[in-house]
Amino acid sequence: MQHLSLLLIELGILFAVLSGLGLLAHRLGLSPIPFYLLSGLLFGEGRLLPVNAAGPFVEAGAEIGVILLLLLLGLEFSATELMHSLQRHRSSGLVDFLLNAVPGFLFGLLLGLPWQAALALSGVIWVSSSGIIARLLDDLGRLGNRETPAVLSVLVLEDIAMALYLPMLVVFLSGGGAWQAAGGVALALGAVSLIMAAAHKAGHRVGRLLSHPQDEQVMLRLLGIALVVAGIAEGVGAGAAVGSFLVGIAIPQSFADRARQILSPLRDLFAAFFFLTFGLSLSLADVLPILPAVLLLAVVTTATKLGSGWYAAGKEGVHLRGRLRAGAALTTRGEFSVIIAGLAVAAGYTEVGPFAAAYVLILAVAGPLLTRFIDSWTDPNRRKRPH
């Protein structure tokens, strides 16, 4: 009974703290992700507010949070949209990779990290935050802008690349060789192709299977399918995150809006646990010494992401100001970077954790601020409009 009492009290405190941090982030016009990461530094054994009794519950919730984050991200895109993005912006994706992933890997090697950890760091630096950026573009009223399709195309290409990158990374982090990694990538590629083909030919049947007048039934069916597929994907080495992302892609767009509306509150709850758990694995003493290097990398990779957006928007025929807005939007890092770093830390490459946390903290705040600044600078009349 005493354990149950402590569990409930600790969870109540956690919910209250996360609620306050989310409210503060909303007031400041920022993503709550950096606030949740910082809160993780306050909790845990030997810290300001220990969560010993609630620890197992929070860890399990964090795993569900990853699955829901990727599931709802997959719901943003259809198989047709993915194919269109691949065809139109393949060169944009390549430029984005060369300007961000490659320097990230080299920077990791310069820091003296093992090449496996450097590979994880390259992913942390490479991938922008689809969730934060989509919300930011909506808040700024830019979803209808000419440069926005270019931004979304780069995000989609990054998300597709993650479906292949994550299985490869998991194999290398676990000590596997090149042939095992190739097998993991081939498996993921086959799964992506299979699900995209199934979504194209039988998407309406999936929609009928999930559809029900009661939201409770829709939530349970969606979550059940996502967890089962994520578990199978994890078991065969493709990764639970990849599996849940592919489930989202398979959901027909006619049903996706309702699915997002039903699952979004659940995602927000468990995603908060995920970011909190990542923060729990870190120590402030590990983060502070590397801040100068992280700040330098944040400045450099902000410039490289500006280059990615500049190139992609140029393919849409967008001029100077729109190209700057596109680049600024892509500078934000968030949920995927933390997921990649979490995989590295779980595999024993703990040095990636503090670096990634500090990097995401900086750019999850600086990215939206830079985007808002460039948005105002390129459109002075926007200041006079009500938000």
CB 45 within 8 A of CB 38: no
Q: What is the pLDDT of residue 47?
A: 59
Nearest Cα residue to 53 out of 18, 84, 9: 9
Q: What are the pLDDT digits (tens) for 320-329?
A: 888 988 898 8
| pLDDT of residue 99 exceeding 90 | yes
Lowest mean pLDDT among 289-298, 315-324, 372-381: 372-381
Q: What is the pLDDT of residue 197?
A: 64
Nearest Cα residue to 334 out of 290, 368, 294: 368
Q: What is the mean pLDDT of residues 138-144?
A: 69
Can you give the pTM of this predicted structure? 0.71
Higher pLDDT residue, 72 or 217?
217
Q: What are the pLDDT digits (tens) for 348-365?
A: 888 888 888 889 888 877
Q: What is the pLDDT of residue 96?
A: 93
Q: What is the pLDDT of residue 384?
A: 46
What is the rounded CA–CA span in Å between residue 203 and residue 254?
9
| pLDDT of residue 22 exceeding 50 | yes
Any alpha helices (H) in 111-177, and if so which ranges?
Answer: 115-126, 130-139, 148-173
Residue 130, Cβ density class (10 Å: 0-12 exposed, 13-18 middle, ≥19 buried): buried
Average pLDDT across the chain, whole number:
78
Q: What are the pLDDT digits (tens) for 247-305?
A: 777 777 777 778 888 888 888 888 888 777 777 766 777 778 888 889 999 999 999 99
Task: Please report which confidence band the pLDDT of residue 386 belongs to, taking 50, 70 and 90 as the band edges.
Answer: very low
Q: What is the pLDDT of residue 383?
A: 46
What is the rounded CA–CA span in Å between residue 196 and residue 191?
8
Q: What is the pLDDT of residue 97?
A: 93
CA atoms 314, 320, 325, 327: torsion sign? positive
CB 338 within 8 A of CB 360: yes
DSSP string, 86-116: HHHSHHHHHHHIIIIIHHHHHHHHHTT--HH
Q: What is the mean pLDDT of residues 22-41?
A: 78
Task: Please report which confidence band the pLDDT of residue 161 belongs to, taking 50, 70 and 90 as the band edges.
Answer: confident
| Percentage of the chain modeled with pLDDT above 90 | 11
| pLDDT of residue 341 exceeding 80 | yes
DSSP at 175: T
Q: How many residues does the chain have?
A: 387
Tokens of 304: 């490289």
| pLDDT of residue 154 exceeding 80 | yes
- Those residues whose C-beta lies under 8 Å from the C-beta of residue 148, and which sit 6 or more positions away, are 137, 142, 326
Tokens of 305: 């992401």
Higher pLDDT residue, 262 or 163?
262
| pLDDT of residue 152 exceeding 50 | yes
Task: Please report which confidence band the pLDDT of residue 178 belongs to, taking 50, 70 and 90 as the band edges.
Answer: low
Q: 3-state DSSP helix/strand/coil percent for the chain, to nearest 5?
A: 80, 0, 20
Q: What is the pLDDT of residue 385?
A: 44
Residue 125 has, within 13 A of its CA and on its CB side, a CA count of: 32
Chain Cα centroid distance, residue 42? 23
Q: What is the mean pLDDT of residues 370-382?
A: 69
- CATH architecture assigned to 59-379: Up-down Bundle (1.20)
Task: Please report which confidence band the pLDDT of residue 207 belongs to, taking 50, 70 and 90 as the band edges.
Answer: low
Query: Coil, strand or helix: which one is 49?
Result: strand
Rounded alpha-carbon distances, angstroms, from residue 257 to 215, 221, 262, 263: 13, 16, 9, 10
